[in-house]
Structure 1
Amino acid sequence: MVFLMDHPSREAALLYGSLKKAGYSFRTVAFEDDGFLPEGVESPYRELCGRKREETAVPRYFSRLQVPDGWEIRSTGTEGNIWDYDTKRAQLVYAHPASRRFLQTVNWLDSAGKNIWQDHYDDSGELYARTTCDAEGRPVLKTSYAASGEECIVENLQNHTMLLREKKEDGTLTSRLFPGKVELVLYYLEKTKADCDRIFFNSLSYPLFAQRRLRMEKRTPHPEKNDLAEVPFGGDVLFWQEEIGERLPGNMVTVLNDPQGVNGIAVQSLGVYEKIQAQIREHAAENGIVNAERAAKIIAPVGQIYSFSGTVKKEKTICILTNSDAVEHLAELADALPEFVFHVGALTEMSAKLMAMQKKPNVRLYPGMSEKLGEKLLEENEFYLDINHGNEILDAAWNAYLRRMVIFAFRETAHERAYAAEENILPSACWAQMAEQIRRAAEHSQEKDRLLYRQDVRAMRRNAEDYRRLLGG
């Protein structure tokens, strides 16, 4: 069994973890390598180039980047730049979460501010690839390096061909030219003798193309004829983790009409699942679906198996994490809930406007807090309010859900609607109603448990038995 991952993302990592928790044994191969792949996920680039991650290796902190004499690195909590007096020479892109300021990419600039080249750093702090750009700053070639520093894979970003240089057993170099990324990954799967009797994949792009090539070329047994034939999703499975537009994606329709071994499409968002079923039910012809009844049957809502922590909370405590001083109705909520303690944390310094809130006896402020302190606030507090404008920090709503906090949000400020009960996402004008709902949940354990259950429904919480019932053994 193999899981073909399109690119690293939180959703892909969640699926990887869910399949592991459900007891499946499989290899995971990623088509894109950003240098910070989760442990256990294979990168054909890294493996074919012979780069191994040392256990003691750490990512490169931004200040460890060498720059010419007289140049200066200036960094905030989330972004950085390299300056030659008043001329910007480079932009620093940090790996997620940006607050740790570990280098992922350095975009070197010309005097006009256009990209010259991009240096890519991995989770060992090593320069593992470089992308060169044309005169307009557009990426042209990406070169991945071997551990020795020699060129290993050269990807033409214009025509998508890939040149692999690798050593034979006798030490001589050989070169292979692949038409594209799919062919490189197929070569890697064959070279490493991957067992592709079943294929899980999470994209209608490269992973789908590879799945269909494997089935059409009959390199592996056709899953519909194996011992999983009676299981609902017993063959290959597409895990859909994206949104959809007004119509179904063309490649999804292709899979529905001509499965090529795909026995099911597992949709990992409840809202998206409902949209897809509505498209099949009401607009099958417009979408080009040949057999709407069959299409509806092979699509199912399949959530994630989550790992929770921080279940012991301090009663009547509220957490808000923000780098913005625009926190909707904070003063009114603090006044309406005087028996609650509001803990407001920011990775940056706070403005005078927000600092003025510390005059209220039930508000605690944490300007310039560490990431560790932010995690502690999420662990200890009972409620999370997603009511700040601007960017979300520390994946706050997501981490609040994993720490069994009851989440409330305003429609105008909600960053992660998938983890809050729908009834807890209110218009900002209804702040008084929000205060009353918070008080009711704090004073009645059954109400709090009900809201946590509604969050689980929204987040499509599943367990190992759910996975194995649908996917088989």
Structure 2
Amino acid sequence: MLNLFENFDTDTVDLIRSQNYADLKIPTVVVHDDGFLPDDIDSPIKYYCDFSSKGKPLYFDKLPLPKFWRITADANKGEVFDLDKKRAEIHFVNTDNSRQIKEVQWLDNEGEISWVNHYNSKGDLFAQTYYNNKQAVLRKYYDRGGNEVMTYHLVSGDIFLNYQGKKKHFAGLVDFVVDYLQERKYQLDNIFYNSLNVPFFVSLKLPDNGIDTLFWHEVTGDQLPGNMQYLMKNDTRTKHIIFQKYDEWQKWKSILRSNDDNVKFDYLGMIYPHPRSNKLRANALIMTNSDNIEKLTELVTAMPEIHFNIAAVTLMSDKLMAFDKYKNVELYPSVTQRKVNELITSCDIYLDINHGSEILDSVRAAFEQNMLIIGFKDTLHNQQYISDDNVFKNSDIVGVRDRVVSALSNIKGMKELVDAQRQQAGDMSIESYKKTFGVLKNERIKEQSR
């Protein structure tokens, strides 16, 4: 039994965590390793490059530079200058002001990317990507000693591996992953995957004596993806397709359950942590790294009984600092992580109304704390955690005010609103998750015994 995932994205993390909450300990392999996978997650790159050393991420001011070159940085990214000429952009692992380097994009004289240095969680340079005419064409991977262990031709797909004295050539990433799985001697009788790209094709290439399951978490359009339709029409290792988004399952279930000759369809959400319930406190939180907050003045004045907490990991502009004149507004420029944690636990309303990027995964944090999340249509950052009923037109200040005031004055009403958020996000109890996964396991056993 094995989890085989393409990327270590939020949906993948949620699936792994849900399995762990349900005491389903399944080894996990991630195809695309950015250098910051958890220690208990495997990958071909981690294995061949040997990420076993101790260390910590490279801090931005420790980046090796020519003499007299300088770095400027904020919470989002850094820049390298030779006098006034920008030579590189530094991208961090997180936007929490920790300024730990993930990659450095080195620029040519025209300001275009020439090559990228990739750093891992140990602070090691483990890969370099080279560009030609603005296109990534070649990536080289290195072990801890700086020796080149793998060359990936990104255009043709060819991979050349030089590991422990053995040289191998692979026509593409799928063949490379299949060889890696066999090299590591993973148990490949049951594979769980959540992408119709590389893991899908790996499943098709493995011996046909296994039974696999696709966990589908993406949003579809007017028709199902072609590769999913292929699974429906052909007898492959994939015998079960599990939808993980509640809205998508509601959209397709009647059609899918009538076309399950080769695969069976079902729904299985996620197990999210909820350390506390909503306490109906008149405290609202806004996390932002800009002063472009939609209708902030109107909301602050329309709800004088609500205490607005506005936090940023950077300094605040004069425009935003001017809101300090309102008695029901408290500002937190250059906020510490400790203070963010305090705000997350002390507020019961989250206003997703800032333009620009989301910081500190704040909408997800608010969801897990059972805060009532409200946003405008043009400012949403992570809509799967926000009930459709709590998304308002930018001009509907009255609607936002009435929703907030009504929810805070009615325990039952607040619970219904928060429950709607959780249902839309596919939140499940541990008991329900175990039950559904148990049915899935039993069906696999039946298939294997035929």
TM-score scaled to structure 1, two decimals?
Answer: 0.88
Counterpart of 1:197 in structure 2 is 189
Alpha-carbon spacing, 1:99–1:274, altered in 2? closer, same or farther (3 Å): farther
What is the alpha-carbon distance in structure 2 between the residues aligned to residue 336 and residue 392 of structure 1?
25
User: Do structure 1's residue 344 and structure 2's residue 310 form an aligned pair?
Assistant: yes
| 1:314, distance to aligned residue in structure 2 (A) | 7.7
SS of 1:197's equivalent? coil
Deviation readout 1:252-293 (Å, 9 max, x if unpaired): 111111141222222222233344448x47xxxxxxxxx953
What is the alpha-carbon distance in structure 1 between the residues aligned to residue 21 and residue 414 of structure 2?
27
The amino acid across from 2:168 in the alignment is R
Deviation readout 1:93-138 (Å, 9 max, x if unpaired): 111346322111111111111222211000111111112223x242
Counterpart of 2:159 in structure 1 is 162
User: Cα RMSD (Å) of the superposition?
Assistant: 2.1
| 1:243, distance to aligned residue in structure 2 (A) | 2.1
The amino acid across from 1:191 in the alignment is E
Counterpart of 1:13 in structure 2 is 13
User: Do structure 1's residue 32 and structure 2's residue 29 form an aligned pair?
Assistant: no
Alpha-carbon spacing, 1:297–1:189, altered in 2? closer, same or farther (3 Å): closer
Counterpart of 1:128 in structure 2 is 126
Matches within 5 A, 1:337-376: 337-376=303-342
The answer to whether the 8 A contact 2:278-2:371 is kept is no
The answer to whether the 8 A contact 1:310-1:380 is kept is no
What is the alpha-carbon distance in structure 2 between the residues aligned to residue 53 and residue 443 of structure 1?
54
Give the one of 447, 456, 460 matched to 2:426: 460
Counterpart of 1:206 in structure 2 is 198
What is the alpha-carbon distance in structure 1 between the residues aligned to residue 213 and residue 371 of structure 2?
33
Counterpart of 1:330 in structure 2 is 296
SS of 1:393's equivalent? coil
The amino acid across from 2:34 in the alignment is D
User: Do structure 1's residue 59 and structure 2's residue 57 form an aligned pair?
Assistant: yes
Counterpart of 1:265 in structure 2 is 241
Counterpart of 2:46 in structure 1 is 46
Deviation readout 1:23-78 (Å, 9 max, x if unpaired): 22321111101011133210111112333142xx2111111101111211111220
Structure 1 window deviating more from structure 2 (337-346 vs 264-273): it is: 264-273
Give the one of 66, 69, 72 matched to 1:68: 66
Counterpart of 1:238 in structure 2 is 214
What is the alpha-carbon distance in structure 2 between the residues aligned to residue 97 and residue 160 of structure 1?
32
Counterpart of 2:446 in structure 1 is none
Alpha-carbon spacing, 1:145–1:89, altered in 2? closer, same or farther (3 Å): same
The answer to whether the 8 A contact 1:49-1:166 is kept is no
SS of 1:428's equivalent? coil
What is the alpha-carbon distance in structure 2 between the residues aligned to residue 97 and residue 155 of structure 1?
29
What is the alpha-carbon distance in structure 1 between the residues aligned to residue 155 and residue 349 of structure 2?
49
The amino acid across from 2:178 in the alignment is L
What is the alpha-carbon distance in structure 2 between the residues aligned to residue 142 and residue 381 of structure 1?
46
Counterpart of 1:285 in structure 2 is none
Alpha-carbon spacing, 1:87–1:117, altered in 2? closer, same or farther (3 Å): same
Give the one of 139, 144, 154 matched to 2:136: 139
SS of 1:254's equivalent? helix
What is the alpha-carbon distance in structure 2 between the residues aligned to residue 186 and residue 60 of structure 1?
32
Counterpart of 2:232 in structure 1 is 256
What is the alpha-carbon distance in structure 2 between the residues aligned to residue 50 and residue 355 of structure 1?
48
Deviation readout 1:4-32 (Å, 9 max, x if unpaired): 11011111111111112122232111110
Q: What are structure 1's unaligned runs of at least 5 residues?
A: 168-172, 224-235, 282-290
Alpha-carbon spacing, 1:295–1:316, altered in 2? closer, same or farther (3 Å): farther
Deviation readout 1:196-244 (Å, 9 max, x if unpaired): 1211001001000111111xx34xx343xxxxxxxxxxxx211112222
SS of 1:90's equivalent? strand
What is the alpha-carbon distance in structure 2 between the residues aligned to residue 51 and residue 357 of structure 1?
48
What is the alpha-carbon distance in structure 1 between the residues aligned to residue 266 and residue 248 of structure 2?
11
| 1:366, distance to aligned residue in structure 2 (A) | 1.0
Give aligned-pair identity as a percent.
31
Counterpart of 1:286 in structure 2 is none
Deviation readout 1:300-328 (Å, 9 max, x if unpaired): 33211111235475821111111222222
The answer to whether the 8 A contact 2:106-2:115 is kept is yes
What is the alpha-carbon distance in structure 2 between the residues aligned to residue 297 and residue 141 of structure 1?
38
User: Do structure 1's residue 379 and structure 2's residue 345 form an aligned pair?
Assistant: yes
What is the alpha-carbon distance in structure 2 between the residues aligned to residue 277 and residue 403 of structure 1?
30
What is the alpha-carbon distance in structure 1 between the residues aligned to residue 356 and residue 140 of structure 2?
36
| 1:151, distance to aligned residue in structure 2 (A) | 0.9
User: Do structure 1's residue 91 and structure 2's residue 89 form an aligned pair?
Assistant: yes
Counterpart of 1:226 in structure 2 is none
User: Do structure 1's residue 104 and structure 2's residue 102 form an aligned pair?
Assistant: yes
What is the alpha-carbon distance in structure 1 between the residues aligned to residue 362 and residue 231 of structure 2?
36
The amino acid across from 2:236 in the alignment is Q
Structure 1 window deviating more from structure 2 (461-470 vs 148-157): it is: 461-470
Structure 1 window deviating more from structure 2 (2-11 vs 415-424): it is: 415-424
Extract structure 1 runs of 4+ deviating beyond 6 A. Answer: none
